[in-house]
Amino acid sequence: MRDMLYLLNISVSGIKCIKDEVRLDFYKKTVDKKFNPERYRVKAIYGENGSGKSALITAVKIFQDLIWNDNYLGESKTQEFLSEIVNKALNIFCFKVEFLINMNNQKTVYQYMFQVGKGKTGLYEIQYESLKCKNGNYANNIYQSVFECQDGKLTSIVCTEKAAEWLEKKTINLLSTHSFICLYSLNIAENIFTQEDNDKNLLYSMIAFFVLVVSLKVYIEEEDQHELYFIQKRLRENKLEKQKFAGKNLGQGNHFNLTLDVNEKFVEKKDIDEYKARVEQLTQFIKLFKPNLVSIDVDAKEDGERYVCDLNLNYGDYVINKEFESTGIKKLIRLFDCFTAAGNGGIVFVDEMDSNLNDVYLCKLIEYFMYYGKGQLCFTTHNIDPMSVLKENKNSIDFLSSDNRLIPWTSRGNATPENCYKNGMIEDLPFNIEASDFVGILGE
């Protein structure tokens, strides 16, 4: 089996309307020597409005931010956001992820978990965090702890006693507000874990985890691109460092995809040529939908050591800024970075991928990821047209009920998922509204 990363599942509880744990599985079979995910790379999540589809995508975004933004829980806007989004009945948000990574023909399955809840000060803090691993060749293997933090303390870690003491000192009074992995990525690995061979297992596990987080891309309509610039800047710097580690220790120096996003508004001067090359790729992509497009021009204005970049679409007879394009073309531009990531081995989550996209284009894009994509794509949607494509793949359609249960589509003779969905034949998803129900509300 070639070197690879594969997301096995995520489990979420305590966010928005999701109270009890919801587990989203990407690979339904047992992980063993015969593991093969080629038919398990695309997943669509369907469900009623307010069933919790967006909550699942938001949970992944919180996970990503907690790891990469070293002051995530210290920001007042984060605390306000969590106060709004954490389930009011629980006041505790839990996230768990399992993933497989194959490096140098060695399969390893990892399980990462964190729990966020209100502390004595009334602010949200990390109550629990852990990373575990097991051999990925056999189904009955048991997870072994890599590290565990509870109530702001490092309670266990797999390394030498000397390293453990050093780590406890470096993380003291910080683990309630910072992920241990975030602290590790900031300054720990470079200072200690090249010294002792016995500490290599911890280093390898951390690199494997960084591979996962670097490979993640999450699309939510409300993303603040200005703030993302600063996180992405540090992310790129960290990716370069982790690439050096991986290349030296695991032979995985080429695993990381270090391309700039075309939707980044702020670009370092040293990166402008790379950014323009990415925009040229975007041009070829948009031309598939708009053949009369001549070019997409970069309007770059200097701002200290960076450029503030805007994109203008040139149609020969006229030029239009991307913000004044049709909603469909704007959506395709915004999703381009996600699509290229999923096509090249990344793990991508998109909320409401179908909004403003033509049904035909949507289905053809999904077909591409099913048959040619190297990564994973998970998206929420209300559009039933892609079901006819997705049903040809395995474990590609999940229905989220109003009581937060995930119901995977399974073959039912000649029945199709689209007809079963429309006619209320999916368990706990009855579309029991009739046209006559609106009489007297919207008019006689």
| Stretch 427-436: mean pLDDT | 72
pLDDT tens, 254-310?
444 456 789 888 999 999 999 999 999 999 999 999 999 999 999 999 999 999 999
pLDDT value of residue 102:
86
pLDDT tens, 356-387?
999 999 999 999 999 999 999 999 999 999 99
pLDDT value of residue 83:
95
| Lowest-confidence pick of 55-64, 138-147, 234-243 | 234-243
The CA-atom distances, in angstroms, between 25 and each of 44, 45, 378, 439 are: 12, 11, 11, 41
Contact 220, 351 (CB under 8 A): yes
Domain 4-257+344-438, CATH class in plain words: alpha beta
The CA-atom distances, in angstroms, between 234 and each of 177, 240, 307 are: 19, 10, 17
| Stretch 53-78: mean pLDDT | 93
pLDDT tens, 204-261?
898 899 889 989 999 997 654 434 444 455 555 554 444 444 444 444 434 444 567 8
Report which of 271, 390, 420, 281 is spatially closest to residue 337, judged by C-alpha positions: 281
State both tokens at 284.
């070829």
Which residue has better confidence, 129 or 413?
Answer: 129
Residue given tokens 């931010």 in the structure block: 65
The percentage of the chain sitting over the pLDDT mark of 90, rounded to a whole number, equals: 61
d(CA 24, CA 409): 13
Q: Where are the domains of the chain?
A: 4-257+344-438
Q: Is 242 exposed, middle or buried (0-12, 13-18, 19+ CB in 10 A)?
A: buried
State both tokens at 120.
């004595």
Count of positions (residues) in the chain:
444
pLDDT value of residue 255:
41
pLDDT tens, 85-122?
999 999 999 999 999 998 777 889 999 999 999 999 99
pLDDT value of residue 252:
41
pLDDT tens, 160-211?
888 888 889 889 999 999 999 999 887 665 555 455 666 778 888 988 998 8
Above 70 in pLDDT, residue 311?
yes
Confidence of residue 443 (pLDDT cuts 50, 70, 90): confident
Which residue has better confidence, 235 or 422?
Answer: 422
pLDDT value of residue 430:
61
Report which of 137, 182, 156, 14 is spatially closest to residue 83, judged by C-alpha positions: 14
What pairs with residue 117 in β-bridges? 92, 125
| Stretch 61-70: mean pLDDT | 92
Q: Which amino acid is at 36?
A: N
What pairs with residue 298 in β-bridges? 311
pLDDT value of residue 201:
82
Contact 180, 149 (CB under 8 A): yes
pLDDT value of residue 290:
96
What pairs with residue 303 in β-bridges? 306
Q: How many CB atoms lie within 10 A of CB 128?
A: 16
Sheet of strand 4-13, all strands in order from the earlier edge strand to the far edge: 22-25, 4-13, 92-103, 106-118, 124-135, 144-150, 153-157
pTM exceeds cut of 0.85: yes
Contact 171, 154 (CB under 8 A): yes
d(CA 89, CA 14): 8
Mean pLDDT of the chain: 86
Please give, one letter per residue, the 3-state secondary structure of the chain.
CCCEEEEEEEEEECECCECCCEEEECCCCCCCCCCCCCCCCEEEEEECCCCCHHHHHHHHHHHHHHHHCCCCCCCHHHHHHHHHHECCCCCEEEEEEEEEEEECCEEEEEEEEEEEEECCCCCEEEEEEEEEEEECCCCCCCCEEEEEEECCEEEEECCCHHHHHHHHHHHCCCCCCCCHHHHHHHHHHHHHCCCCHHHHHHHHHHHHHHHHHHHEEEECCCCCHHHHHHHHHHHHHHHHHHHHHHHHHCCCCCCCCCCCCCCCCEEEHHHHHHHHHHHHHHHHHHHCCCCCCCEEEEEEEEECCEEEEEEEEECCCCEEEHHHCCHHHHHHHHHHHHHHHHHCCCEEEECCCCCCCCHHHHHHHHHHHHHCCCCEEEEECCCCCCHHHHCCCCCCEEEECCCCCEEECCCECCECHHHHHHCCCCCCCCCCCCHHHHECCCEC
Confidence of residue 435 (pLDDT cuts 50, 70, 90): confident
Q: Rg (Cα) of the chain, in Å, rounded?
A: 23
Above 60 in pLDDT, residue 436?
yes
The CA-atom distances, in angstroms, between 439 and each of 207, 423, 444 are: 60, 21, 5
pLDDT value of residue 415:
87
| Stretch 313-319: mean pLDDT | 96
Q: Which amino acid is at 220?
A: I
Which residues lie closer than 8 Å to 438 by C-beta, 6 or more apart?
A: none
